[in-house]
Amino acid sequence: MSIKRYGVGGSKGTGGQSLPFAKAVEAGGWLYVSGQTPMKDGEVVEGGIIEQSRLAIQNCVDIMESAGYTLADVVHVKVFLTDARYFQSFNKVFSEFFSAHPPARVCCVADLVVDCKVEVDLTCYNAERVK
């Protein structure tokens, strides 16, 4: 089994710092997408939980799709919110993406190392990609 890493090098975090991890790693038909925050070009996009949730999920989806996976391949999602009061609003956005193929999920409240309201990561599986 081979391991393929996506988005190694060149990724920038807040303040322009280089990020020391891959955007995603694929092995044996599995794709693990690193946690994504509501960032564009290394900067957190301002906005409420709805806007930030939509961008964090879309960032995951963009990475997943660039690796050749689809929303139907998502088997598990981890969500980190900075406030439990965001839960219902986050669920509305989550449903926009995953209502057709609901994955398993965990959602918890945590402090984040980036000044934003949400972080999301995905795990995908596609048997046709097993090598």
Q: Active-site residues: which are they?
A: 107
Q: What is the dihedral of CA 17, 58, 22, 2, to 10 degrees?
A: -170
Ramachandran sector of residue 85 (left: φ over 0; alpha: ψ -120 to 50; beta: rest): alpha
